[in-house]
Amino acid sequence: MAEIQVKEGKAPFKISSIDEPCFTYYKIIGDISGSTPPVVVAHGGPGAGHEYLLTFADLWQKYGLPVVFYDQIGCGSSTHLPQKSGDQSFWQEQLFQDELDNLLDHLELRGGPGFHLLGQSWGGMLGAAFAARRPQGLRRLVLASALASKELATRGVQIWRDQMPPNMQHALDEAEQKGEYDSPAYKQALGFYNKKHVCRADPFPPRELLPALKHLTEDTTVYRTMNGPSPLTADGSLNNWTVISRLPQISAPTLVYNGEYDTSHDIAQVPFFELIPRVRWITFPDGGHMCHLEGGGRRERILKVVGEFLTQKE
């Protein structure tokens, strides 16, 4: 069993339109100075922080894979930029690509054994776009409950909404029409949706998810600007986002996975499977959007699938 080593730090991150010094917080599990490519983990939200993905820290103990977690700019322990709330021209994919580039350079992960990249949800959207550039050092890519385009994501969410009880569908529609998301009926409907499609852990929410919920509640800058006022209402800077045309450019072997009841519906995975040249797609039975936090053996199965994919011979 690999010895547990933990290192935390901050990578200075220069943003041309921001006068103040900015930084990206990171946490390393294991030894990144060896001959094994570390796994860089990009979280979702946007704005959820890294903690809900700490399940993947076990890749170090079980497979000898060092893991690098980080909080994207604007959330968690990285620099917050509340003055940029609502600025959709600022909160764009390119900002987060630049940040990831900066982190890789700061940790000197381009050379030697290189690195793997695992992106969950929005982190997978970012990961697919990043991998399409064929960055130096990228060995393998994992797209965990990611989305090939926001349009397909919206269609997938609508499929799940149409299966909800009629009174809950009405509550969601009414909230969106009025722009009011605080009614008990809306909160009940959203809670139903979250337990069925976001994270099917019992009890809900699992303790590992609490930090992400805290981040998203205490500073809404990134999530509100990029996604919208509600998980089911999208009007942010990602609204017309797509990576579909770029997918054929991904040269790294890629693992795509989602859950059977995932908010990242199968229709949002199909372009990954059809257009990435070297790809494998797995849908985990009975899983939700965060099936790495769920019971029923899903957490263990995901770690096994990801660990074996990242350590298999070329």
Q: Output the six-digit token pair for 254.
A: 């890629």
Question: Are 8 and 67 a contacting pair, CB within 8 Å?
Answer: no
Catalytic residue among 80, 262, 265, 292: 262
Residue 71 bears catalytic tag: no
71 — alpha (psi -120 to 50), left (phi > 0) or beta? beta
Collapsed DSSP state (helix, strand, coil) of residue 221: helix
DSSP character string of 226-256:
HT-SBTTB--STTTT-B-GGGGGG--S-EEE
- Sequence-distant (6+) residues with CB within 8 A of 214 are none
User: Among the options 50, 80, 215, 289, which is catalytic?
Assistant: 289
DSSP designation for 166: H
Active site includes 183?
Answer: no
Residue 147 CA from chain centroid, whole number:
10
Q: Are the C-beta atoms of residues 119 and 126 closer than 8 Å to each other?
A: yes
Instruction: Write down the residue that tokens 């900002």 correspond to.
Output: 95
Three-state SS for 1-37 is CCCCCEEEEEEECCCCCCCCCCEEEEEEECCCCCCCC
Q: Is 50 a catalytic residue?
A: no
CA–CA dist 205, 245 (Å, integer): 36
Q: Identity (one letter) of the amino acid at 213?
A: L
Rounded distance between C-alpha atoms, residue 20 and residue 73, angstroms: 13
Rounded to whole angstroms, the Cα distance separating 37 from 247 reads 23
CA-to-CA distance for 118 and 191, rounded, in angstroms? 28
The count of residues in the chain is 314
**Sign of torsion over alpha carbons 164, 169, 172, 176:** positive
Catalytic-role residue among 77, 121, 145, 149: 121
Provide the annotated active-site residues. Answer: 121, 262, 289
